[in-house]
């Protein structure tokens, strides 16, 4: 799942199919400063103290009384049970500084911000703190999170430095997948999947891989029932992989890959498929299966018995699955029939309708 928390972040995704799945976003201030998607004032990248890695974010100690240095995550999405955690410590631990954490909704001004926590600073060793967001912010996007260092007003001479490291957000992924499975019948693959919960889900692209290339083969919109299926038809014998691309309404996405390969074997019988679409205008596809090497003829004729050329006339075929695109643009509306012959023996006849 691509995250809308616009930071230089490490993304760790844990999928637990029988429980709620969580996505973790962590900023350790190891890259550029301010990190992409962050802003601030009075903080610098520092190696003086660090919880992990090489660097942390360090505040300036030159603030005037009543002012504050701050770090800001410019945009953060919040789902049900989203949590924000971070590590912090101070340099001297002898002052009355506070670290305030605010949330500002994407439509609010700074005067409408909400205070989530106010921490009195005094420990020179690293401490951890975790914030659970009020339910009013469930399933909201684009929220700003501000870490503000407040210098006490009563004593202008006090100076303190704070260090912040490993700012991490954990939230349920928009979709929890209970299962993703498949069945094969002849040259068709039926995919089935079910979700346990959905948040902000637009739907699923179905992607198929053959020859090490992923191609989109279909789309299924989100369903209230959380149960889905998709049939991939007319496949040639071979080995395939499938995956779902779950798409949020804001364009973010996440992949779920079907475990193992899907194998389509050689047809075990001759078979003439039902044309699609039917009725059609002006063209339709005719699918047919050949189980043994032979000469194949496909005939199309109207109710009077008049025959029309399909381009498949006593043509040598190897075993496999085939598609014929029949163009009816020169024909009149009406009922037509099509038949398949292998080595001169009729296999089957089906009906189709042309409507103009």
Identify whether residues 333 and 294 lie together within a single domain. yes
Q: Which domain holds residue 103?
A: 10-172
Last residue of a domain, one of 264, 296, 320: 264
Residue 7 has pLDDT above 50, yes or no: no
Structural domain contains residue 109? yes
Q: What is the CATH number of the domain that holds 197?
A: 2.60.40.10
Euclidean distance between CA atoms 319 and 266, whole angstroms:
7
Identify the band that residue 13 occupies on the pLDDT scale cut at 50, 70 and 90: very low
User: Please, what is the average pLDDT of the chain?
Assistant: 84
Tokens describing residue 313: 């006339």
Phi, psi of 99 (to 5 degrees): -110, 115
Among 172, 202, 224, residue at a domain's last position? 172
- pLDDT band per the 50, 70, 90 thresholds, residue 154: low
153 & 36 share domain: yes
Task: Single out the residue in 172, 206, 241 at which a domain terminates.
Answer: 172
Q: What is the pLDDT of residues 294-341, one digit of tens each?
A: 999 999 999 999 999 999 999 999 988 888 999 999 999 999 999 999
Q: Are residues 69 and 161 in the same domain?
A: yes
Q: Same domain for 83 and 227?
A: no
192 and 228 housed in the same domain: yes
Q: 53 with 119, same domain?
A: yes
CATH code where residue 80 lies: 2.60.120.200
* Rounded Cα–Cα distance for residues 194 and 208 (Å): 19
Q: How far apart are CA 45 and CA 11, in angstroms?
A: 21
Burial 66-85 (b: 16+ CB within 10 A, else e): eebbbbbbbbbbbbeebebb
The total number of structural domains that make up the chain: 3
Q: What band does 37 get if pLDDT is binned at 50, 70 and 90?
A: confident
Q: Is the pLDDT of residue 242 over 90?
A: yes
Tokens of 305: 């018995």
Within a domain: 2: no
């Amino acid at each position: 799942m691509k995250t809308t928390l616009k930071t230089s972040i490490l993304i760790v995704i844990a999928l637990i199919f029988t429980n709620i799945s969580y996505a973790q976003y962590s900023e350790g201030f190891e890259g550029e400063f301010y990190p992409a998607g962050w802003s601030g004032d009075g903080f610098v990248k520092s190696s003086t103290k660090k919880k992990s890695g090489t660097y942390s974010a360090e505040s300036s100690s030159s603030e005037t009384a009543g002012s504050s240095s701050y770090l800001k995550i410019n945009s953060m999405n919040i789902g049900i049970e989203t949590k924000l955690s971070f590590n912090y410590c101070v340099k001297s631990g002898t002052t009355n500084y506070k670290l305030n954490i605010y949330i500002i909704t994407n439509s609010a001004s700074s005067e409408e911000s909400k205070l989530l926590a106010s921490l009195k600073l005094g420990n020179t060793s690293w401490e951890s703190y975790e914030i659970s967001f009020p339910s009013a912010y469930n399933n909201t996007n684009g929220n700003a999170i501000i870490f503000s260092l407040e210098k006490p007003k009563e004593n202008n001479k006090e100076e303190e430095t704070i260090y912040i490291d490993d700012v991490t957000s954990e939230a349920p992924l928009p979709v929890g997948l209970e299962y993703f499975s498949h069945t094969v019948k002849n040259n068709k693959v039926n995919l089935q999947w079910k979700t346990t919960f959905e948040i902000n889900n637009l739907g699923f692209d179905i992607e198929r891989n053959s020859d090490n290339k992923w191609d989109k083969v279909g789309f299924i919109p989100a369903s209230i029932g959380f149960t889905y299926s998709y049939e991939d038809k007319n496949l040639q014998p071979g080995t395939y992989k499938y995956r779902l691309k779950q798409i949020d309404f804001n364009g973010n996405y996440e992949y779920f890959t079907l475990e193992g390969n899907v194998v389509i074997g050689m047809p075990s019988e001759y078979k003439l498929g039902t044309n699609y679409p039917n009725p059609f205008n002006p063209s339709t596809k005719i699918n047919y299966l050949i189980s043994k090497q032979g000469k194949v003829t496909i005939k199309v004729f109207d109710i009077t018995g008049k025959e029309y050329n399909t381009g498949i006339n006593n043509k040598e075929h190897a075993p496999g699955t085939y598609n014929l695109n029949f163009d009816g643009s020169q024909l009149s509306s009406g009922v037509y029939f099509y038949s398949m012959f292998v080595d001169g023996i009729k296999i089957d006849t089906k009906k189709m309708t042309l409507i103009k």
